[in-house]
Amino acid sequence: MVDRHKLLDSPERRSIAAAGFEIRSKGDGLTLTGYASIFGNGYDVLGGAPYGWTERVDTRAFDATLAAKPDLHLLINHEGMPLARTKSGTLRLSTDSKGLLVEADLDRRDPDVQRLETKMERGDMDEMSFAFRVKADEWSKDESERTLTEVSLHKGDVSVVNFGANPATSAQLNSMSQALDLLANVDPEQAMAELRSGDTRAVERLIAARERLAALQRGLTPPVKRAGLSLAEALAVQGDESRNVSLAATIPSHSTSITDAPMDRRAALAAAPDDQVVLRYMHAWVDPDGSADDKSSYWGAHHEGRIGAPAHLAAVRYHLSMLEHSDIPADERAAVERHLRRHLDEAE
């Protein structure tokens, strides 16, 4: 389950097949109307329980943000130049008994509007998505249901989109099983459409995910010095628990979030599972003669014991100062130093 406390005031997106969505002529211009959110209409986030939840929007959720006159744009696929804006009066938002109603005045002289008009008239684009921050919500006791009771639209956007992006793309994933379940159910064609939509953040997240998956793969797959193993040979190695497999001593550097919060390294190590994937993520070096699942084989803990935990700068600086006095062979220290310094470079 996603940590619900981390969702408050974090950027999120929700997409729907826009109810009452249409574009019509108004003098020399066009008017776009549609509901970007429907009150009381339950929809699943992260596939619903047990890894996600069912979400509903309360009828009063937009009252405070609309009263404060939020500044937001109408966009296509959450990017590009604005088609309309609340500040200029060309984009208007209101609520009725049904939901959040969007109305926008579009200028036919705008090339983006010209392209959009044709696609909407043909029915090629008929979905909307809006970006927001949740200010208050209510959860059921088992955290399987969430009600959004106050939402901020300020500095967000309302977008006409090719495909409604899966809400999971803007939620935080904190468990490995949850992330793998989501990945296993991704629609390749829809995912490719989202990546091609021009949203650079999606591409950046894909690159970061690839780096983490590669690091996990290296942790799970010790290097094999002999090339060209047959399937039978590979299965024989897998089933032979008596065979010694050397660990890769230097742990590849990786890009993660950074924190200045202090870290109790001993407590973090004691709480970490006896799992080589997690242990390799936490540390900068592992003894090649040690055991993959033995915590004493590792050196340089600077992450908490979970995949995705940020690097603690204080721990990074401490291990850099102690590197020269460690038992790590001299020819491996440079790689360990590069691992640690990458975190410092990213913090700067």
pLDDT tens-digit map of 14-36: 766 655 667 777 777 788 888 88
The highest-confidence range among 70-74, 112-116, 290-294, by mean pLDDT, is 70-74
pLDDT greater at residue 303 or residue 20: 303
Whether pLDDT at 308 is above 60: yes
Q: Report how far residue 268's alpha carbon sits from residue 248's, in angstroms, rounded to the nearest whole number.
A: 23
Mean pLDDT (whole number) for 141-146: 87
pLDDT range class, residue 312, cuts 50, 70, 90? very high
Domain boundaries, the chain: 4-184, 246-347
Q: Residue 149: its pLDDT value, please? A: 94
Helix (H, G, I), strand (E, B) or coil at 79: strand
pLDDT range class, residue 7, cuts 50, 70, 90? confident
pLDDT range class, residue 242, cuts 50, 70, 90? very low
pLDDT range class, residue 130, cuts 50, 70, 90? confident
Peptide bond into 50 cis (omega under 30): yes
Select from 336, 326, 223 the least CA-distant residue to 285: 336
Select from 159, 143, 114, 135 the least CA-distant residue to 48: 143
Q: Which stretch of 67-76, 90-99, 172-181 has the lowest confidence by average pLDDT?
A: 172-181
Q: Residue 214: its pLDDT value, please? A: 63
CB 81 within 8 A of CB 112: yes
